[in-house]
Structure 1
Amino acid sequence: MLVLTGAALAGAPLTAAARPAAARPAAVSVPGTIVVDRGGPARSLPFTAPRDGEAVITFAASAPGVSWARKGAESAVVSIEVDGRKATDLVVPSSEPVERSLGLGRVRKGRHKVTLRFAGGSAPAAERVRLTGTRVRVPSENAVALRHAPIVAGRTGWPFGDPYQNATTDTPLLAWHETRPAATPGHRIIEYSMVWSNEDGGTDTPALMARWGRTTDIEWVYRVEVDESGRRVEGTAVYQAPLHLTFQFTGRYEDDHPVLQTCTDNNNLCDVVSPDPPLRFLLDASGTRPAGRAREAVMDREPWTYRVAAQEMVREGKIEQPSDPATREVGDPRSYLFVEFAKTTGAAAEWGSAPGVALGVRLRSDPSTLYRSDHDQPTWSIERDGAVATTVELPEGTTVSDIASIEALRRPTGLWDNGAPATVTSINRGFFLDDSYLPQPSSIRWQGSVTLTRQNPSAVLWSSGLG
C-alpha cells in the first residue's frame, strides 16, 4: 500500500406518530405514499430516536416519467435534511419503485424531523418523486460502521464542469463495509466501498465486462482503524485518490464521517472538496459482502443496479448494434452470461508474467465455436485470485438451456509465461439478464478442483449433462 501525506488533488408537513417503544424501539414507519413535487412544498417527517446513534432512512423510490435510459429523463433528485442539516441527496433513476437505504447522520435521543425537497439536477421530464414504505431507524447492529461511513460529494468538474453530473452519469448506487483485525489487539480496520452506475474514464467498457463482469464501477473509498470503543485512531484514515493511489485523509469530518468528493472520471476521490457541491451522498454502508464471494455479489443482492448500468450504456451509445459476439465491442447486455468463479494461482516455475484465466462457452447448436470471456485478448483474462466475476458474450437470444459446456482457459498475459498453474474450484453463479435488464435466477453452479497448466491449458468445468 502506498500512503502519501499532505493535501490531496485537488412545506406541508406529513404527520406520523412513532410506534410504541415495545413494538418497534428503533424505527418509525409511515403508511401510504410521500409525494415530493417539482415546485411544490417540502415534505416533513417527524421521528423519535430511541437512543443516540446513526439514523438510516429506507423507502421504495420512484419518479413517474423518469428513465435512466433516456436523455432528458434520467432522474429526479430529492434533497434530504435532518433538523435543517443537509444529510444526503437521493437520485431516483426509475419510474418503477426501487428499495433504497440512505444514512441520515448522527442524531441524539429524542424527536427529530426529516425534510424532503425536490432538488436541482432533476431531469426536465421529472415532475415528482414517490416514496412508499418510508422508515427511519437508529440501528444498533453495525453501528460503528455507520458511524464512520464516508460522505461523498458529487462530481462537479469544478470550477467549469456540470455541478450535477451524478444526476445523469456515474451515479452512486450502493455502499458496504468490510472489517479485519488491526495490528493492535482489540482494534479493527473498517474499509468502505461504493458502486457507481458506470465510469466515464479508466478501464474501457469491453475490458470491464471481460475482467470484472460488469459495467458499473466498484471502488474502495475510505479505510480507517477504530479502537475497542469504535473511536477513530488518529493518523490511520486513508482514501483512494486519483491514479488509484492511497492518500492519508486530511480533510474535514462531520461528526465521524469523512467528507470526500468524486473528483475524476473514473470515480477516484479527493479530500479537498469543491465549494458548496450541490450533490452529496451518504449511502447506507451497514451491509457487508457475503463471505467468499466477489464484490459483484453486492449487486446481485440489489438486481436494479444491473438495470441502471445497462440503461446508462444504452443512453450513452456504448452498445454495439447489432450485437456480435465475434467483435470486441460491447453488445446488448442481455446477450451476456454473467459468471462468478473462484481461482488460485500457484507458484511460478520461472521468470515471466503470471497467467490469467478466462472462461469459454460452447453451445449445443454449435459446439465447435468457443465463445471466450476475454475475446482472445491476453490482457482481458483475470489474473487476480479469489472469487472473481466475468461475462461471456453469446448470440442474442441464448438461454442457459442452449449452453453445452463452460470451460476454464489458462491464458499467458505477457511475452514470457512464468509457468504457474491456475486452479479453478467453483462456479458460484451464472445468469442472463431478462428483457428489462434484471438478473434471472442463477441456474449454473459447480464445485470441484481443476488445475490448468502450460501442458493442459483448458478444462471443462460445467456441462449441461452434469450440471
Structure 2
Amino acid sequence: MRSRARHAVLAVTGAALAGAPLVLTVSPADAAGTRGTISVHRGGPARSLPFTAHRDGEAVISFAASAPGVSWAREGAESAVVSIAVDGRHVTDLVVPSSDPIPRGLGLGHVGKGRHKVTLRFAKGSAPAARRVTLRHPEVRMPVAEALALRHAPVVVGRTGWPLGDPYQNATTDAPLIAWHETRPADTPGHKIIEYSVVWSNEDGGTDTPALMARWGRTTDIEWIYRVEVDASGRRVDGTGVYQAPMHLTLKFTGRYEGDHPVLQTCTDNNNMCDVVSPDAPLRFLLDASRTRPDGRAREVVMDREPWTYRIAAQEMVREGKIESPSDPATPGVGDQRTYLFAEFAKTTGGATGTGSVPGVALGVRLKSDPSALYRSDHDEPTWSIDRDGAVATTVELPAGTAVSDIASIEAVRRPTGAGDNGAPATVTSINRGFFLDDSYLPQPSSVTWQGSVTLTQAEPSAVLWRP
C-alpha cells in the first residue's frame, strides 16, 4: 500500500480504451500540500507528478493555477512562472498572472507507453512579489478525439527582444493565454488542413488600443500562427507547414520539429512568428490547442469560454497606462473596460455599384436617459468601422454605470472606410451576444441577441437592430 500511495493512479476503464480520454488524478503523497494540490515555492524543491500511459500518444495537463501576492495589474507583481518538464525534458512554461485560481491547460507532448514523471519548478522570470504557485486538482489526460490536433500543435518560444531585450518579457507583457485549432478539408481527398491560433494578453505593437476595441472588440491579440496539411493517417505532408511571419506574411516553415510539433518563436511586438529560434531563449509554451472555435462565430468567442482572459487583458491596460482616466465615451481613448458593451454581430457586403472605398459597419447605442445621443463603436472614425464579413466583434463605450436595462436601442450604421463610397450594400443578420464586464472585469451573462436581416445602403445607412 505504501508503494502504491507514492504514485498517481491512472484508471483505465473499458470506456477509456474505447476512445474516451485516459485520466490521471494526482496522488497526495507527491503533491506536497492538501489533497489534490501541488505547491511550488521560490527557492524550494521541484515537485513531481508520476503517471502511466497505457498507449503512445499526446498528453495534456490541466489544473487551476494561482499565485498568492500576484496581480497582472501591478508592476513588480505581474506573474509567477512555473517550468514544466516530462522525464527531465523541458516541455513548457506556465505564466500564472493571478492570485485567484485560473483554469489552465498545457500540452506535455508525445509520450510513449509506460511510466513517466512530470516535474514542476518555480522558475526565473517570476515577479519579485511572487513567492508560491498553487496548482489545484492537477490532471493528466491523453485525449483520443483531439489527439491529431495535439500532435501537430506548435511550440511557441517566448519573445526575448534580442539582442538587448528582456528574455522573460512574456512573464510581464503579451503573455500567451490560450490556443485553439481549426480544420478544413484539403484539396487531396482524405487530407486535412489544421490551423492553430493563440490569444495573447495584448500586443505591444501593431494596431493601437482604441482601434482594437472598435474593430476587434478586445485588447488581446489573436493571431493564427501555424498551418499544416496532414494525410488520412494523420502524418504531416512534407513541405505544407506555413506560419504567420513578421508583417503578417505567410512563409513556408523551414525550422525544426520536435516530433510533429514545429518550434516557432514570437519575434515581433505584435506577436508574429519566426522559424529561427534563439538557442538561449528561456521560455517556451505548448498550450493545449485541443479545442476549436464554434462554427459561424467570431474568433473572440474563444475568450468567452475562458472569462479570466478578459480580466487579464483589462489589467494589462491598467498597468501599462493605456486607460483614459476618467473614462469619457465622447473621446476615442480607451476607458475603463467595464464601461463597454462587448458585442458580436454578423454581416455581409454586397457588390459595388461604383468606385470608392468599401463600406464598413459600426454599432450604435442609444440610452433611455437621452435617446438623441448615439454612442458609436467606431467613434465616427471611418477606418474603425468593420469592413470584413462574417461574425465580427466590437465594443461600444458608454457612460460609467450603464447596464443593459439602460439601453433604448442598438442600431447598425453603414460607414465607408475611406474616400468615396463604392455603393455596396451591407446586410446585418444577427447580434450573437452582448454583455458588460462586472466589477472584477469578468463577462456578465449575455443579454442581447437578435436575428433578422437589415440591409444598409447609401440612401438608408442606419437601422435599428435591437430594442429591449
The answer to whether the superposition gives a TM-score over 0.5 is yes
1:15 corresponds to which residue?
6
Mapped contact 1:101–1:284 kept (Cα < 8 A): yes
Q: Kindly indicate whether residue 266 of structure 2 is the aligned counterpart of residue 262 of structure 1.
A: yes
1:19 aligned counterpart, secondary structure: strand
2:422 corresponds to which residue?
418
TM-score (ref. length: structure 1): 0.96
Q: Which amino acid aligns with 1:275?
A: P
2:193 corresponds to which residue?
189
2:318 corresponds to which residue?
314
2:24 corresponds to which residue?
28
What runs of 5+ residues in structure 2 fail to find an aligned partner? Answer: 27-34
2:29 corresponds to which residue?
none
Pairing partner for 1:432 from 432, 436, 445: 436
Alignment of 1:355-366 (within 5 A): 355-366=359-370
Consecutive aligned runs of 4 or more in structure 1 exceeding 3 Å deviation: none
Pairing partner for 2:458 from 443, 454, 463: 454
1:285 corresponds to which residue?
289
Q: Which amino acid aligns with 2:57?
A: G
Mapped partners of 2:217, 2:10: distance in 1: 44
Mapped partners of 1:159, 1:210: distance in 2: 34
Alignment of 1:66-215 (within 5 A): 66-215=70-219
Q: Kindly indicate whether residue 58 of structure 2 is the aligned counterpart of residue 54 of structure 1.
A: yes
1:362 aligned counterpart, secondary structure: strand
Cα root mean square deviation, aligned: 0.9
What runs of 5+ residues in structure 1 fail to find an aligned partner? Answer: 1-13
Mapped partners of 1:17, 1:208: distance in 2: 45
Deviation, 1:19, is 3.4
Deviation, 1:16, is 3.4
Deviation, 1:276, is 1.9
Q: Which has the higher contact order (CA 8 A, sep 6+)?
A: 1
Deviation, 1:15, is 3.5
Mapped contact 2:10–2:51 kept (Cα < 8 A): no
Mapped partners of 2:39, 2:453: distance in 1: 54
1:305 aligned counterpart, secondary structure: helix
Q: Which amino acid aligns with 2:251?
A: F
Deviations 1:292-348 (A, max 9, x none): 100001000000000000000000000000000000100000000000000000011
Pairing partner for 1:408 from 399, 405, 412: 412
Residue-pair matches, total: 451
Mapped contact 1:227–1:233 kept (Cα < 8 A): yes
Mapped contact 2:37–2:135 kept (Cα < 8 A): yes
Deviation, 1:163, is 0.1
2:45 aligned counterpart, secondary structure: coil
Q: Which amino acid aligns with 1:22?
A: T
Mapped partners of 2:6, 2:320: distance in 1: 42
Pairing partner for 2:329 from 312, 325, 332: 325
Q: Which amino acid aligns with 1:29?
A: T
2:9 aligned counterpart, secondary structure: coil
2:446 aligned counterpart, secondary structure: coil
Q: Which amino acid aligns with 1:44?
A: S
Deviation, 1:20, is 3.0
Deviations 1:243-287 (A, max 9, x none): 000010000000000000000000000000112211000000000
Deviation, 1:350, is 1.4
Pairing partner for 1:398 from 402, 408, 428: 402
TM-score (ref. length: structure 2): 0.95
Mapped contact 1:340–1:428 kept (Cα < 8 A): yes
Identity %: 80
Q: Kindly indicate whether residue 454 of structure 2 is the aligned counterpart of residue 463 of structure 1.
A: no
Q: Which amino acid aligns with 1:113?
A: K
Pairing partner for 1:244 from 234, 241, 248: 248
Mapped contact 1:175–1:285 kept (Cα < 8 A): yes
Mapped partners of 1:21, 1:420: distance in 2: 59
1:9 corresponds to which residue?
none
Q: Kindly indicate whether residue 449 of structure 2 is the aligned counterpart of residue 445 of structure 1.
A: yes
1:136 aligned counterpart, secondary structure: strand
Q: Which amino acid aligns with 2:12?
A: A
Deviation, 1:357, is 0.2
Deviations 1:44-81 (A, max 9, x none): 01001121000000000000000000000000000000
2:32 corresponds to which residue?
none
Mapped contact 1:426–1:449 kept (Cα < 8 A): yes
Mapped contact 2:264–2:275 kept (Cα < 8 A): yes
Mapped contact 1:50–1:138 kept (Cα < 8 A): no
Q: Which amino acid aligns with 1:298?
A: V
Deviation, 1:414, is 1.5
Mapped partners of 1:17, 1:286: distance in 2: 24
